[in-house]
Amino acid sequence: MKCRRKIILESASEITVTPRQLEMLRHIAEFENSRCYSATIAEAAGAAGVSRTTAFEHIVSLQAKGLLTKSTGRARSLRLTAQASRLLECDRYLGSRSAASEGVPLAGRVAAGVPIEAIENADVLSLRSVFGDGDGVFALEVAGDSMIEEGIDTGDYVICRKTDTAANGQMVVAIVEENAATVKRFYRENGRVRLEAANPAYPSIYTDQCRIEAVVVGVLRRLGY
């Protein structure tokens, strides 16, 4: 079932719009805001990336729902109603709430070397925005300090992308004898696998019984105060 946005009007009646209709409203509003005049049906179709016939059908539906008005005989007469303006305002609010719940504000850049000019930003930083989306990306909590010289310590989280192959030198999550999982640098040499730690206190693991579960693509750490 397609998701639909709903807005409760002052009269306590309910208007339901489809995602495509809501997108058409957005394009019509953005067109007028940027050009200070209303869009024609052809321009609304172009902005939304649909055919003129499809745009016309959406516009007729939006008129029937009291979200658009259009004067007969005039090309540039599409106008959002007060209800449509409230709907778009509500949608922007819900969209900002949804984005905030999936990440933290990305406010700009800060120098770790030569100071740079502070540049404000209004983006949101999330794991998906950095490492990609999909079922193949996951996180694991690290127990132990065998990768300490790679900046990975107990309590950190490694972000992994699921795969069953790895290139020499990649950091991997590997399953070795007795179904033990470990994070190490992966090397294939002389018919066997070497899993190399990043801590002199831990010897390399040599094995011919190794299964790659994932490659490590990032690290998360919560700093103490």
| Residue 140 within a domain | yes
**Is 74 among the domain residues?**
yes
Q: So which residues are the catalytic ones?
A: 146, 184
Amino acid at 49: G
Other beta carbons within 10 Å of 124: 16
Which residue in this structure is represented by tokens 């002199």? 200
Band (pLDDT 50/70/90 cuts) for residue 112 is low
**Amino acid identity of 11?**
S
pLDDT, residue 148, reads 93
- Predicted confidence (pLDDT) at residue 179 exceeds the cutoff of 90: no
Q: Please give the mean pLDDT across all residues of the chain.
A: 76
CB-based contacts of 57, cutoff 8 Å, min separation 6 = none
- Residue 124's contacts (CB-CB under 8 Å, 6 or more residues apart) are 99, 100, 102, 103, 104, 105, 106
Would residue 30 be called left, alpha or beta, if left means φ above 0 and alpha means ψ between -120 and 50 degrees? alpha
For residue 224, the model assigns a pLDDT of 63
Average pLDDT in the 92-102 region?
A: 51
CATH of the domain at 180: 2.10.109.10
Give the CATH number of the domain where residue 21 resides.
Answer: 1.10.10.10
Q: Are residues 113 and 177 in the same domain?
A: no
Name the residue among 29, 26, 48 with its Cα closest to residue 38: 29
- Do 79 and 9 fall into the same domain? yes
- Inside any domain, residue 64: yes
Residue 16 lies in a domain: yes
* 38 lies in the same domain as 85: yes
The answer to the question of residue 159 being in a domain is: yes
Note whether 118 and 57 are same-domain residues. no
pLDDT for the residue 202: 93
Q: Please tell me the total count of domains within the chain.
A: 3
pLDDT at 13 over 90: no
Q: Which of 87, 112, 130 is the last residue of a domain?
A: 130
Name the residue range of residue 60's domain: 5-100
Locate the DSSP E strands across 65-210.
Answer: 68-69, 79-80, 104-106, 123-125, 137-141, 157-162, 171-176, 180-189, 192-196, 205-207
- Tokens coding 32: 């007028």
When pLDDT is cut at 50, 70 and 90, the band that residue 96 belongs to is: very low
In a domain, 225, yes or no: no
Together in a domain, 11 and 51: yes
Percent of the chain residues past pLDDT 90, beyond the cut: 17
Q: Are residues 162 and 206 both part of a single domain?
A: yes
Using the Cα atoms of residue 35, residue 40, residue 44 and residue 45 in order, give the sign of their dihedral: negative
Domain co-membership, 88 together with 48: yes
Whether 193 shows a pLDDT value over 90: the answer reads yes
Determine, yes or no, domain membership for 110: yes
Whether 15 and 90 map to the same domain: the answer is: yes
Least confident of 87-91, 182-186, 212-216: 87-91
- Whether 87 and 13 have beta carbons less than 8 Å apart is answered as no
Q: Is 110 in the same domain as 162?
A: no
DSSP state of 171: E
What the block records as the tokens of 145 is 């300090």
Q: How many CA atoms lie within 13 A of 216 on its CB side?
A: 24
**pLDDT for 183:** 92
Q: Are residues 15 and 61 in the same domain?
A: yes
pTM of the entire structure?
A: 0.49
- Same domain (yes/no): 119, 139: no
- The residue-averaged pLDDT of 155-165 equals 87
Strand partners, 173: 183, 214
Query: Which helix (H) or strand (E) element contains residue 89?
Result: helix 82-101
Say yes or no: 66 and 112 in one domain: no
Q: Residue type at 58? A: H
